Chain A
């Protein structure tokens, strides 16, 4: 084991990098093919073929019973010019991403930062902070819609007890329902927090020591040391956050079912795809929606990638240069 460690940390082989070329052995192609075959079959039947197929279907009218009928760009025309639900879903999705992604990053950073402070006991707190992210989404959402219920939920009673006179109706009020979902998301911050925690623990303490010798305040050392060094993590969470928010489904679906969300305040993009495909059985239209989703996510990712030169600092040079 000690030998393993020495080799692993030798300068020739960093973690994540491929091994240097060594003397040629005969490539065992049959073994490689055999090992890769589950993945190969998977990628053909569950990724490649479905992608081609859904791309084709996005230009068709298809209800699962009759065979697909070519309609050209009609699905896209309908989406942008006739389908008000599409715009509602898009608006809701953009709204919740714009608020929850920055909030999640800030909260993850804050909780992780707090965890680095104590000399003892931080693993105990870490366990508690991480725990909610393990809870099944359905159970968590049901619990939230119940405890946030203005009539019989205990949360509003607590809010009243600390002096908030008219606490919001949360999931029952279209203006507040998304905030309920955002709080639910922040409660399950654990996994993002762990990534931030790993990032924070990677910051060399010598930097902080130097800063404090120079008389830097703790805000200054956060602003000029921690924050720049955390930008790769922030960048990564922003990208995964954007991708994730367009697939946000379970919590919104369960919550709207629990409170009968007639105003569609919790109707998001992924919900719209689900309803188009599996309630209305408009497979062609739903495929078109899915491809627009892919394009939107790619564009967002591209924009974030383009801006990263200006704000993301990689200590050992950029990964995406």
Chain B
């Protein structure tokens, strides 16, 4: 009797061991499957960037031979690009426009977002709805009259049309900040108000420090929005070569005398580099920003 039960128990244990091993094996197979799929996709996503870098290090002759590996490595391309075209000037122009645009967006978007989320007032809902609907409005509808305003002001070509509008709030940034501000508990504000804190102080000293991640997100989106912008510069600065940004300059690359394909890729790589570096240091901010609003700036 007792031997039977022992035998049976052993049998059961052997079974379950077998099952566990099978499960482990299955899990392992799944893991291998998943990761090979993920690695394949990663290779596809990285491939264009890899090719840009590889091509940017080739000689002019080799860049036109469909080869996949530089031989020899021409590191000098990265020096030459600064002398072949006014690359430094383009970079500084782009940087200037982007930094000013970022400052403008942050300074002019925090206060509206604050009063739209932290204060009760009549007309707040309507204002917010108007704001949301302007986010959906295609830019082409307002583009021409805005262009005419700037041309009447004799601001074309100059950086002003690219910078000044950002000081008049961005609906997207207000929306993102508002989403974040509403999640800060009202009790904090109430306590400060009872202590006689003014609304302005409350905004600057209490809400803004608490909302640093959201402000970082709109600053990043604004910066990248200007850095990557092509249409604005195309309208407003294309006539004056001294004002060219990287996007405009790069697009005109082919037409510029003595510039070769490999150099084009060198310049592209340098144009992408800051964005990629910024992204690696701040991807959490980005991903949260995208998730919070459902759109990229």
Interface residues of B in 190-206 (CB under 8 A from A): 190, 193, 199-200, 203
B57 CB to closest chain A CB (Å) equals: 13
Identify A135's interface contact among B188, B199, B276, B286, CB under 8 A: B276
Q: Does A169 interact with chain B (Cβ within 8 Å)?
A: no
User: With A and B bound together, what is the CA distance between A246 and B141 in angstroms?
Assistant: 12
Q: Are B138 and A3 in contact (CB under 8 A)?
A: no
User: With A and B bound together, what is the CA distance between A115 and B30 in angstroms?
Assistant: 13
Q: Residues of A contacting B121 with CB < 8 Å?
A: 27, 29, 32
Q: Are B146 and A50 in contact (CB under 8 A)?
A: yes
Q: A15-B182, A22-B186, A43-B134 are in contact. Are A132 and B140 (CB under 8 A)?
A: no
> Would you give the 0/1 interface string for B158-195, flagging 1 where the beta carbon is closer than 8 Å to chain A?
00000001011101001000010011111110100100
Q: A136-B247, A138-B247, A283-B144 are in contact. Are A147 and B51 (CB under 8 A)?
A: yes
Interface residues of B in 222-274 (CB under 8 A from A): 224, 227-228, 230-231, 234-235, 246-247, 250-251, 253-254, 261, 264-265, 268, 271-272
Q: Are B268 and A50 in contact (CB under 8 A)?
A: no
Q: Residues of B contacting A163 with CB < 8 Å?
A: none
Identify B114's interface contact among A22, A35, A144, CB under 8 A: A35
User: With A and B bound together, what is the CA distance between A8 and B65 in angstroms?
Assistant: 60
Among the 9-residue stretches A78-86, A97-105, A150-158, the one with 4 or more Cβ atoms under 8 Å from chain B is: A150-158
Identify A57's interface contact among B122, B144, B271, B295, CB under 8 A: B144
A52 CB to closest chain B CB (Å) equals: 8
Interface residues of A in 191-227 (CB under 8 A from B): 191, 194-195, 198
Q: A29-B121, A39-B112, A129-B41 are in contact. Are A137 and B276 (CB under 8 A)?
A: no
Interface of B is mostly: helix
Known contacts A15-B179, A42-B165, A278-B147, then 18 further A-B pairs from the complex at CB < 8 Å, ordered by chain A residue: A7-B187, A18-B124, A19-B120, A25-B193, A32-B115, A39-B108, A39-B169, A39-B174, A45-B168, A54-B145, A117-B38, A127-B280, A133-B296, A135-B49, A273-B140, A273-B143, A290-B144, A294-B138
A interface residues (Cβ-Cβ under 8 A, vs B): 3-4, 7-8, 15-19, 21-22, 25, 27-29, 31-32, 34-36, 38-39, 41-43, 45-47, 49-51, 53-54, 57, 64, 111, 114-115, 117-119, 121-122, 125-140, 142-144, 146-147, 151-158, 187, 191, 194-195, 198, 236, 240, 243, 246-247, 249-250, 253-254, 257-258, 270, 273-274, 277-278, 283, 286-287, 289-291, 293-294, 297, 301
